[in-house]
Structure 1
Amino acid sequence: MGSKIKTLVVDDELYSRDELTHLLETYPSIQIIGEADSGETAILKALQLQPDVVFLDVEMPKINGMNAAKTLMELKKPPLIVFATAYPEFAVEAFRCSAIDYLLKPFDEKQLAEAVKRIEKHFDTTEEILNPDKIALIVDEKILLVKNANILYLESSEGKCTVVTLDNPYKVSNTLIGLEKRLDTKKFLRVHRSYIVNIDHIIEIEPWFNSTYNLLMRGGSKIPVSRTYVKDVRQLFQF
């Protein structure tokens, strides 16, 4: 692995925050760049520090962890989210927020190690595909090599990623963030926290509410452009 993984730890309880920070600092790949004691502070620090991953408590006053995560996922470069909480009942909702892991207090060092390994895998540059014309998709424990030119768009919903091609949609075990790292940025554009499109297959740009747009794709699909990415679309197509 190359550079360290910039990490923000968020918990309103000082003891829990200190414990998790201490445990994470034992991993050479992890760099703690900040701490926050509330959802509001977490959002502000994420904007300021641009962490790669946020360890996030759920039960916090005012803005709780779930709502903070939803806001973080709207950022132009959203961090990975790991929920760290004493409450197991929020797990389903957590993965709807595209969380990469869900840790329960008191922290189990083995589970934490597995979470860190999963995070490292996301940022491991050795996983990049050497052939720029194709990308490896994990489908039902098989590895399919799909031509990038045949991909219409990629979609993430409730923590599950779907790659839609000219021929078929594939529900893949890859994550949207992981695939984004391996796609040609000259051909693929993130237009929403849940969508990445192949610009060669955009047929029409349709103005929508609140100065946003819909992209009409080859094959008939309609992809929303969120306000966060409107500027990127306008700059790309110069309108």
Structure 2
Amino acid sequence: MSNQQNIRCILVDDEAPALDELTFLLSDFNDIDVIGTATSATKGIKLIEEKEPDLVFLDIQMPGKNGFHVLQEIMQLPNPPLVVFATAYDEYALQAFEENAVDYILKPLSSERLEKSIKRIRCLVYANCEEKVDLPDMNALLDTMGLGTKVLRISVEASGRILLLEPSDVILCRVEERKIMIYTQKGIFPCYGDKTLDKLEERLQGQPFFRTNRGEMVNLTHVRDFAPWFNGKYVVTMKHIDEQEIIISKGRVKDFRQRLGLA
């Protein structure tokens, strides 16, 4: 961001009247240039990537992807913009904004409140304020909202290189001769990095993986079918892997049924 030029700004809100109102209110500030508006999260992300603004006014409650999803995407840009939220959110979220956001403005907007926000933005952009204004920790905000920006990949060894797999590509993780083997449609690869199935399971929390027994973990989206076995156990077959039957331990059957919405 330059400390000489005007602050280039993009507005994202699914309601056109709200965009018009904010554009009008911002016209009172000579150093704020509105260079684009978007009426959805997807359009907003594309516009921000194209125009690389200094500042984004971002609505949170939008259909489909919401404002937090926009923030999650743009935080991965080389030079992410400052973000001010326009929201009618609850106390829990407001506390998170207090601690980690540049600013938030409650709807309906007022010119007085907007002026306070612009003063804070100027301090961050021009760095010419006597009072110290810290840059916000947007990653902490995303974590609070359950949308951390960490990129999750499963690394495997393949032909002398380290291949990074999307979790969705992994069908089965199995311990074989003290090594974790990763089964995919394209082949079976030794896991690189995660030394135990416990560690891999911990890292994949929140993903559709299920630990069927001490030595195996399956991706539930790749389960073809299952059936009761003996001694209260289940047997599972997986898509895309020939003749691979996975045994679900008796103590894990109930959790398995719950994960599939069957209990």
Q: Which residue of 2 aligns with 1:220?
A: none
Contact 1:2 / 1:125 at 8 angstroms: preserved in 2? no
**1:216-231, aligned counterparts within 5 Å?**
none
Q: Is the 8 A contact 2:124 2:133 kept in 1?
A: no
- Structure 1 residues 1-239: aligned runs within 5 Å: 2-89=4-91, 90-94=93-97, 98-124=100-126, 126=128, 156=137, 158=140, 210=164
Q: Give the letter for the 2:53 counterpart.
A: P
Superposition CA RMSD, Å: 3.3
* 8 Å contact kept, 1:53–1:80: yes
Deviation of the 1:126 alpha carbon: 4.2
Letter in 1 for 2:43: T
Task: List alignment gaps of at least 5 residues for structure 1.
Answer: 128-136, 140-153, 160-192, 195-206, 212-239
**TM-score, reference length from structure 1:** 0.52
| Residue segments in structure 2 that go unaligned for 5+ positions in a row | 142-148, 151-160, 166-263
In structure 2, C-alpha distance between the alignment counterparts of 1:92 and 1:209, rounded to whole Å: 40
1:155–1:105 distance in 2 versus 1, CA, 3 Å: closer
How far off is 1:88 after superposition?
3.6
Offset of residue 155 of structure 1:
11
Higher relative contact order (CA 8 A, sep 6+): 1
Question: What displacement does 1:125 show?
Answer: 5.0
1:37 is displaced (CA, Å) by 0.4
Q: Cα distance, 1:61 vs. partner?
A: 1.1
Assess if the C-alpha contact under 8 Å between 2:87 and 2:106 holds in 1.
Answer: yes
Matched letter for residue 26 of structure 1: D
Q: How many residues align?
A: 143
TM-score by length of 2: 0.48
Moved over 2 A (4+): 86-96, 154-159, 207-211
Q: What does the per-residue CA deviation read over 1:212-237, in whole Å, with 9 as the maximum and x for residues that have no partner?
A: xxxxxxxxxxxxxxxxxxxxxxxxxx
1:88 and 1:111 mapped to 2: Cα distance?
18
Shift of 1:70: 1.5
Whichever residue aligns with residue 84 of structure 2, its letter is V
Residue 9 of structure 2 contacts residue 32 of structure 2 at CA under 8 Å; is this kept in 1?
yes
Question: Which structure features the higher share of strand residues?
Answer: 1
Amino acid at match of 1:158: A
